[in-house]
Amino acid sequence: MWSNILSAIAIILSVVTFVISLIFENIKLKREKNSKIFQDIYFKYMQFTIPKAESDINYIHTNDRIKLTGITEMTNILKNLRKKSSFYKFTDKKFYKKLTEYIMEVEDYYSRKLNTVDDNEKYDKFKSESKEKISKLYKILLKKLNKG
């Protein structure tokens, strides 16, 4: 009789262990799939496009004024990034909203600064703020990547 009870317990434990391992495997596969989609959308932007565009923002002296260059390229990149994020509009609305609202905020920032940075001091402040904004954008993206 004890052997029957022990056998039943062993079978139940085996089934429970099997079900738990299936659940964890499905979670792992889903996370890997989401990571692949994320990388397909954002990897190139994060690795190459945004850093290059940010480093290409510069200024030139014309008629005793400073004129920013590279802003239009950066805002175009941000607009494209926002458009490419539309996948998440249907799969993760919270992330999509947070990301796209922040990207629009950064686009507006660059547009406002285009004609207001006219000396070295303002340019240095602008570059510092620009890097902070891009860093925050990366934090939003990396949080999504790590969360899955």
Say which residue, 146 or 82, is predicted with more confidence: 82
Q: What type of residue sits at position 12?
A: I
> Which H or E run includes 101?
helix 93-113
The pLDDT tens digits of the residues spanning 8-62 come to 888 888 888 888 888 877 777 677 777 788 888 898 999 999 999 999 999 887 7
Q: Tell me if 122 is assigned to some domain.
A: yes
The structure's pTM equals 0.77
Q: Tell me if 26 is assigned to some domain.
A: no
Q: Tell me if 15 is assigned to some domain.
A: no
Q: Tell me if 60 is assigned to some domain.
A: yes
Tokens of 90: 């249907």
Measured in Å, how far apart are the chain's first and last C-alpha atoms?
49
The pLDDT tens digits of the residues spanning 63-84 come to 777 788 899 999 999 999 999 9
Q: Tell me if 96 is assigned to some domain.
A: yes
Structural domain span for residue 95? 34-147
The total number of structural domains that make up the chain: 1
Q: Tell me if 3 is assigned to some domain.
A: no
Say if residues 137 and 42 touch (Cβ distance below 8 Å). no
Phi-psi label, residue 70: left if phi above 0, alpha if psi -120 to 50, beta otherwise: left
Q: Tell me if 97 is assigned to some domain.
A: yes
Q: Tell me if 21 is assigned to some domain.
A: no
Tell me which residue has tokens 């022990």.
6
Say if residues 71 and 114 touch (Cβ distance below 8 Å). yes
For 102-137, give the DSSP string.
HHHHHHHHHHHHTTT--SHHHHHHHHHHHHHHHHHH
The pLDDT tens digits of the residues spanning 78-113 come to 999 999 999 999 989 999 999 999 999 999 999 998
